[in-house]
Structure 1
Amino acid sequence: MELIFIRHGQGEHTTHLPQSLHTSDPDLTEEGIQQASMLRKKFPLSEQDLIVISPLRRTLQTATIWTQGVNCHKVVSPFVSPRMFPQNPEWQTLPCDQLLEMNQIKTDFPDFHIDNPLPYVWRQGINTLPEEEFASLAERFLEWCEEQQKERIYIVTHDGTMTSYRQFISGAKLSRDDFPGETGWIKVQF
């Protein structure tokens, strides 16, 4: 199975660093919208494709733009929500990385299916989980991916999350230098 992790398009929270990181529920910028549109050419989709999306507005907007006109299966999952990389127990989740409430997602993105396997993960996300706890959830998520019986699954997520999963799957030691750019992507064989 091939997992293709795709970073969301440019969000408003990255335009005036570091102050903009304190923006709650940031949208995509105009540039982010253009980047998301370009995904249609890079990764053409069909109705058989499965897209797993982080429960933040910028990832949901990226997926909405990318999948426009294609009735593929879109699943929102906290297992691919923002994750700090590397982990630091003294850091806290920033306002820009707070998960949307399920009711808000249902209202704003009604054609997305919401995966709710563990309610506590929806409340806290995976951002600050210790490595052992993340590893347990990552294993559970990867088992779920296998159960979908797809040759390829696309995952619209965040740079730290992509790097955390990549490190977990490969066992290689990665750093922030391994982060992809906006709408950057990595393929992982699993």
Structure 2
Amino acid sequence: MPPTLVLIRHAQALHNVNEKYHLPDPNLSGTGLKQCLELREHLKTALKDLDVGLIVVSPMRRTIQTAILSLDWLMDAGVPVVASALWQENSAKPCDTGSPIAELEEEFPMVDFSWVDAVYPDKTSPAGAVYAFNRKAIVGRAQRALGELRGRDEKAVVVVSHSGFMRQGMTGCWFFNADYRVFEFEGEGLGLRQWEATRKGGLGKSFEERVVVGEGIPEEDKVPVGA
């Protein structure tokens, strides 16, 4: 049976404050640190009946920090944390472009970065085209991310990722900072069925409205080189 997926958006980061999108790979804000503590206490109860066997993080500082602060109790119980470039955010703005893996390995030794594509954090060259900011690449990447997890043996996997990617590329659902949703794989494919209890987010902070997957992402042939 495929694993249950717990999809978490990172807590508030510095670029979320007054839209400072020029900040490269920003850290969590003071508010974000507090949100992690709230999420931590909630998840310790909400996930107690799920046998979480793996934590996957986007290899960006804000997602890794959110995982470490909110899921340390799972890590202390031996649940491994792996980074995957498939779960990074959509755009190629500085705030959505990651840091060199060598830096992150030194900063976060508790995370396994062996899954991360060697091209990371490139999104703009031909080599990084799979991570480009266009509809085909993002929706395709989301399918790869789900396919990678669907075949795993764990009963439940927790993922810490980004609102834009999870909404526009994968689920159609909005995610508030440090809120989460729980999904099951539906049928034999990569379709997802959300738990009714999380339709407004597990913390009740996210919009209930949904969007069409792919909506708001430019078509491939309309994206200028280096965008």
- What TM bracket, shorter-length normalisation? 0.7 to 0.9
- 1:1-190 equivalences under 5 Å are 1-17=3-19, 20-44=20-44, 48-69=52-73, 70=76, 71-84=78-91, 93-116=92-115, 118-120=117-119, 122-124=121-123, 128-167=132-171, 174=172, 178-190=173-185
SS of 1:182's equivalent in the other structure is coil
Q: Which runs of 5+ in 2 are unaligned?
A: 186-227
Q: Which runs of 5+ in 1 are unaligned?
A: 85-92, 168-173
**Deviation per residue, 1:84-117 (Å, 9 max, x gap):** 5xxxxxxxx2111111211011100001011436
**Deviation per residue, 1:138-161 (Å, 9 max, x gap):** 333222212321222111011011
Let me know the Cα RMSD of the aligned residues. Answer: 2.4
Q: Of the two structures, which has the highest relative contact order with CA contacts closer than 8 Å and spacing of 6 or more?
A: 1
**Deviation per residue, 1:47-75 (Å, 9 max, x gap):** 95311101111111111111325232101
Q: In structure 2, how many angstroms separate the alpha carbons of the residues matched to 1:73 and 1:107?
A: 17
Give the superposition deviation at 1:31: 1.2
Q: In structure 1, how many angstroms separate the alpha carbons of the residues matched to 2:114 and 2:181?
A: 23
SS of 1:187's equivalent in the other structure is strand
Give the superposition deviation at 1:23: 1.2
Structure number with greater Rg is: 2
Tell me which moved more, 38-47 or 148-157: 38-47
SS of 2:99's equivalent in the other structure is coil
Contact 2:139 2:170 (8 Å CA) reproduced: no
Q: In structure 2, how many angstroms separate the alpha carbons of the residues matched to 1:134 and 1:25?
A: 19
Contact 2:8 2:181 (8 Å CA) reproduced: yes
| AA matched with 2:111 | F
Distance 1:40 1:121, change over 3 A: same
**Deviation per residue, 1:3-27 (Å, 9 max, x gap):** 111111111111122xx11112211
Contact 1:116 1:122 (8 Å CA) reproduced: no
- Normalising by structure 2, we get a TM-score of 0.67
Q: In structure 1, how many angstroms separate the alpha carbons of the residues matched to 2:159 and 2:135?
A: 21
| AA matched with 1:120 | V
Instruction: Flag the structure with higher helix content.
Output: 1
Percent sequence identity over aligned pairs: 25
Tell me which moved more, 138-147 or 21-30: 138-147
| AA matched with 2:88 | S
| AA matched with 2:103 | Q
